[in-house]
Structure 1
Amino acid sequence: MERIWDQLDRFTDAPTKQMLQALVKRKVKYENYAKQCRRWQWTSLICFGLLCLFFIFKGFSLNQQAPQIMLEEFLNHTVYLFWMMAAAFAYCTSYYFKKKEEKAEREYHKLRCEIIQKSTDLWPQPEKWKARESVFQLMKHQYDINLYFESK
């Protein structure tokens, strides 16, 4: 990765290079939060699914008696309480990471749009403008960051 940033020395000045490095860090941060969010969402879904299976099988074993008896049976066993708590914890954690992901995405997109808007200032001379194309292609192929258009 250092080799890539060394290549950028001939195409960009130090502040531009720092902006691009910050952009890559923000994208990595955003992707990490997105991965954590997906992981906890799947965990939540599996916990809720297992809890529903427990309810269905226990309901059939109790011969579908009164709902009060079924609810009492579920609340008296620690296994059911454990799965309820695990499902609630997984859901809350996925919600937490979703908020973090959205914030990281806003920060990443804001910096990306700023670089796009300031590209005429960052590469002012005509010969530097040609170097801009090399930098944009490098960022696109190496990090999958689109610096050509502001849309997501």
Structure 2
Amino acid sequence: MERSIFPESYELDGTTKKVLLKIIEKKEKYDKLKNRHLLVMWFTIFAAFCYFIWLYKHIAIPYSHSFAVMFSVYVQETLNLYILLLIIGAFGYMNVVRQKRDKAEKEFHDLRCEFIDKSKDLFGNSETWNVRHEIYNTIKNTYDINLFHQAK
């Protein structure tokens, strides 16, 4: 992984390499959690939608004459309880993954901003300062990480 990001012609010290690799690691973690959150969110929405359509067709329409009958038919089937618990659990898991995603995004953004602030110290000499632009472009194109500005 280091060879594709840091060709041998670039003379970078170990600290700069480690920080750049850590930024890439945080970005990959954030992307993984973002994709997981989207997957769980769409599963929850789809499952809830299908379940409520099924409830409407099989319980609400046939027994709409009495709420008490509708409720008793709903409670008689234990599968309804399990499906409802599954949807509530998926909603809770979706919120847990969202919190992890937000935390990973904050860690990634903070580390990226700190690197941008300290880039003058990390790329101190003129040789590495000249290749800094090429390294930033490589990271931007490969990992979609903008190290030129602090704005997202």
TM-score by length of 2: 0.92
String of CA shifts for 1:99-129, please: whole Å, max 9, x gaps. Answer: 0000000000000001111111111122321
CA RMSD in angstroms comes to: 1.5
Gaps of 5+ in 2: none
Structure 1 residue aligned with 2:119 = 119
Alignment partners' CA distance in 2, 1:50 and 1:104: 32
Q: Which residue of 2 aligns with 1:16?
A: 16
**Rounded Cα–Cα distance in structure 2 between residues aligned with 1:79 and 1:90:** 16
Q: Percent identity?
A: 26
Report 1 or 2 for greater relative contact order, CA contacts < 8 Å, sequence distance ≥ 6.
Answer: 2
- Matched with 1:135 is 135
Corresponding position of 2:62? 61
Contact 1:11–1:135 (8 Å) recurs in 2: no
The CA deviation string for residues 47-66 of structure 1, in whole angstroms up to 9 with x for no partner, is 1101211221121122x122
CA positional deviation for 1:11: 3.7
Q: CA deviation at 1:44?
A: 0.6
**2:24 maps to 1:33:** no
Q: Any gaps of 5 or more consecutive residues in structure 1?
A: none
Equivalent pair of 1:8/1:135 in contact (CA under 8 Å): no
List structure 1 segments (4+ residues) > 6 angstroms apart after TM superposition.
none
Aligned length: 151
- Following superposition, the deviation at residue 7 of structure 1 comes to 1.3
